[in-house]
Amino acid sequence: MSEFRPTLRPALGSKQPVASATFGLSTLPEGTIIHVLARPGEQDVAHLLASLNGSDPHALRPVSPDQWFIVRDAAMPNQEMKGLFAALEPRASGVDQSHGRVRIRIEGKMAQRALSKGTALDLDSSAFPVGQSAVTLIGHIAAHITRVSSDAFEIIVLRGFAESLWDDLTRMGLEFS
Amino acid sequence: MASLVPCPNCGRRPKEEFTIKGAALSRPGADADSENWFDYVYLRDNPRGAYEEYWHHTSGCRRWLVVMRDTLTHEVAACRDATDGSRSERRK
């Protein structure tokens, strides 16, 4: 048997958060991310998900037509997740992405300006209000962006791209920090 | 190129987010003769003007779209989700 033992460590564990008056960059806990995919033709799955999710704001994030992310800061126990997946069937299916995707928070008065350097998405609050989500490119990396308050965004990115995206975001915010 | 594509699911997005498959042609029936299939697989008209293509919104909603664009001016006339067409195209 191999001597090699993989250790689970945070994808962005070695990164220093950026905090200045107008620009902040921080990692979020690697809690729970569940990708939910509705069966073709199913209506109103969003309502089902909202009822399962309680009142936590921004816990349910649209990804694309008939797809959502369920996001929590805390890790979800295995039994609870099994229960959730069972409750979704047969109208939708859940896939645990907690270790596959990483969340990054970008905030501050200049966060929108900094983020706009990397994406063609219109981030103005009239076009992209609080609670809105979108999948887009940041540089060459596909990412899921959600506006969580007027000057804070959460980015969900594939784990393997997280470090690279973090470095890009740091560079985009250099002039503000 | 048609640099801003009006995705019906995501809004206007730059072409870098998309992958182009090629002309949106109607698929011959499974029992069509080989001439029809040869035409469908290999022969393209390459028109100067209006053209319908399958585009995949790879870095967005990941849906197949049908983009109608002008090969001369690169203007996009229309863009719809590929499943909005005939039922036979719909993924089961």
The full set of domain ranges for chain A reads 14-30+100-177, 31-98
Whether the CB of A137 is below 8 Å from some CB of chain B: the reply is yes
Cβ contacts below 8 Å, chain A against chain B, sum to 40
User: Looking at the domain assignment, is residue B92 inside a domain?
Assistant: no
Residue pair A65/A153 in contact by the 8 Å Cβ criterion: no
pLDDT of residue B83: 87
The total of other beta-carbon atoms located within 10 Å of residue A12's CB is 21
Residue A165 CA to residue A146 CA, distance in Å, equals 16
What's the total number of domains in chain B?
1
- Measured CA to CA, the distance from residue A144 to residue A110 in angstroms comes to 19
- Where are any strands of DSSP class E within A28-65? 32-38, 60-64
Q: Which residues, 6+ apart, have CB-to-CB distance to A19 below 8 Å? A: A25, A26, A177
Residue recorded with tokens 């989700």 = B81
Question: How is domain A31-98 classified at the CATH fold level?
Answer: Alpha-Beta Plaits (3.30.70)
Residue B90 lies in a domain: no
Q: Which CATH superfamily is domain A14-30+100-177 in?
A: Probable tRNA modification gtpase trme; domain 1 (3.30.1360.120)
Q: What is the mean pLDDT of residues A143-155?
A: 94
Q: Which residues of B touch A134 (CB under 8 A)?
A: 10, 60
Distance CA A36, CA A148 (A): 20
Residue B64 is part of which domain span? 4-84
Q: What is the pLDDT at residue B2?
A: 55
Could you tell me the CATH number of the domain that includes residue B26?
3.30.2270.10
Structure tokens at A93: 């299916």
Q: Confirm whether B29 is domain-assigned.
A: yes
Task: Evaluate whether residue B30 is within a structural domain.
Answer: yes
In a domain, B91, yes or no: no
Share of chain A above pLDDT 90, in %: 65
For A142, the 3-state DSSP assignment is strand
CA dihedral A80, A83, A89, A91 (to 10 degrees): -50
> Chain A: residue nearest B4 by CA?
A120
Chain B interface includes A8 (CB < 8 A) = no
Closest chain B residue to A139 measured between Cα atoms? B16
| C-beta of residue A139 within 8 angstroms of C-beta of residue A168 | yes
Residue reference for tokens 């350097």: A117
Interface check for A126 against chain B (CB to CB < 8 A): the answer is no
Predicted interface score ipTM higher than 0.95: no
Q: In angstroms, what separates the C-alpha of A120 from chain B's closest C-alpha? A: 7
Q: Rounded CA gap, A65 and A72, in Å? A: 21
The more confidently predicted of residues A159 and A46 is A159
Model confidence band, residue A1 (pLDDT cutoffs 50, 70, 90)? confident
Length of chain B: 92
Residue B84 carries which DSSP code? Answer: G
- Report the alpha-carbon distance of residue A80 to residue B90 in Å, rounded: 34
- Mark yes or no for CB contact B60/A135 under 8 Å: yes
pLDDT at res. B38: 95
Coil, helix or strand for A132?
coil
Residue in chain A nearest B8 by alpha carbon: A65
Residue A112 has pLDDT above 90, yes or no: yes
A136 vs B: CB within 8 A: yes
Asked if A42 is an interface residue toward chain B (Cβ–Cβ < 8 A), one would say no
Q: Distances in Å between the alpha carbon of A56 and those of A5, A45, A60, A125?
A: 37, 18, 8, 22
Q: Which of A65, A120, A137 sits opposite B61 (nearest CB)?
A: A65
Alpha helices in chain A (DSSP H): 45-53, 78-88, 111-116, 159-173
pLDDT (0 to 100) of residue B92:
35
CB A168 within 8 A of CB A157: no
Q: What angle, 0 to 180 degrees and rounded to 10, lies between the N-to-C axes of helices A45-53 and A78-88? A: 150
